[in-house]
Structure 1
Amino acid sequence: MKAPDFLTLWGMPLLLGVLILFGLIAALTGTGIWHWLSWAALCVPLVVLGWYLFKKETPAKK
Structure 2
Amino acid sequence: MDKKIASTFRHVWAAPTLIAVLSLAGLVVALLGEGIEDWIGWGGLALPLATIVWCHLRRRS
Q: Same fold (TM over 0.5)?
A: yes
Q: TM-score w.r.t. structure 1 length? A: 0.73
Identity across the alignment (%): 37
* Consecutive unaligned residues in structure 2, runs of 5 or more: none
Q: TM-score w.r.t. structure 2 length? A: 0.74
Residue number in structure 2 paired with 1:19: 22
- Measured on the aligned residues, the alpha-carbon RMSD in Å equals 2.0
Report the alpha carbon displacement of residue 21 of structure 1 after superposing the two structures with TM: 0.3
Runs of 4+ in 1 over 6 A off after TM superposition: none
Q: From the two aligned structures, give the one with the greater helix fraction.
A: 2
1:32 aligns with 2:35: yes
Report the alpha carbon displacement of residue 14 of structure 1 after superposing the two structures with TM: 0.5
Aligned with 1:49 (options 35, 38, 52): 52
Q: Which has the larger radius of gyration?
A: 1
> How many angstroms apart in 1 are the aligned matches of 2:25 and 2:35?
15
